[in-house]
Structure formats: C-alpha cells, structure tokens
Structure 1
Amino acid sequence: MAIAKTSQGSPEGFATVKYSADMSHHLMGTAEIAERLGVSRQRVHQIETSDPTFPKPVAELSAGKVWESADVERWIAGRHRPKASGSP
C-alpha cells in the first residue's frame, strides 16, 4: 500500500491511497462490531477503551473509527473460547 499526498483530483489535505491489485480490505465500524457481538455501540466503545487486547482501529474518519474485519474476528475468536468439558 502506498499513500501519496496529492492536490490533483483530491480535496486539499486528503491522501490518495493506492492498493496493489491483490490487496483486499474488509472494514467494520462500531455499528458492525456491535451487531457481530450482540451488544450496543456504546458497549463497543467501552470494550475498546477498557480492553487492551481489543484491536486498534486502522483509521478514524469523521463518521467514526474503522477496524480491519480480520483483526476483530481474531479478537472475538481469542476472547470467546468455549469452556473445557467438565468446567463449572
């Protein structure tokens, strides 16, 4: 991925991001994470600020923070492991 600051074709102060053809990014916002977890958007914010293992956002837009879906799914998988048989 290459990020280049440009004044042609982009509003001032915005960057143009070029991805190679084989790069695919799937992003999630707070609402999508909340839906995936079955919690409120407010709860996602609480988790983000209190759980040091929660992934860092890849960007913060005017609409809010965004995360790579793969990072969030890895966090969910690591956090919600089934209890071992015989555990109370």
Structure 2
Amino acid sequence: MRQARTVFRWVLALIVVFLVGTGSGYVTRTWECRNTLQTIWVAAPGFDAGSMQLPAKLYRLRVTACTLPEQWGGHREPLDGYP
C-alpha cells in the first residue's frame, strides 16, 4: 500500500509538471492549429510575382494553420482544388 501511494504521488507530480511546464501550451497550440480554419487566396503555379501584375485567376483555399508549413516544406501532396 505504501508503494502504491508513492507511485500515485509521483504520477500526480509528473502530471502537474507537464501541465505547468510546456505541456499545456503544446496541447493548446496543437488544438488551435488543427481546428482553426483560414481562407487563403493563391495564384496558379508558375505565376511570376515579380511582374507586379495581378494574376488572371486566384484560387480560394480553406486550410488549417498546420497545413501551410507542411505544404511549403514539400512534405504533403498539393492542396485539393489547386491545379
């Protein structure tokens, strides 16, 4: 019984340290990242941004904040609706 109490105290202490430390921030950031949708407007691939002209067509995409860094890093397939 004494061992069980000691283990329980250690587990409780670890949970408190996790929540007080970076754990709660990590959980909150992950939840916001996956559940917050953003609308972005993008030009077709190959559009030259240096020409200082507006593209003929813009594509509206609804994405989460997590999607964008993965897309730009080339770790995911192209977004749906984008040519």
The alignment's TM-score, normalised by the length of structure 2, stands at 0.27
Kindly indicate which of the two structures has a greater share of residues assigned to helix.
2
Task: Give the number of the structure whose alpha-carbon radius of gyration is greater.
Answer: 2
The alignment's TM-score, normalised by the length of structure 1, stands at 0.26
Kindly indicate which of the two structures has a greater share of residues assigned to strand.
1
Instruction: Give the structure, 1 or 2, with the largest relative contact order (CA under 8 Å, sep 6 or more).
Output: 2
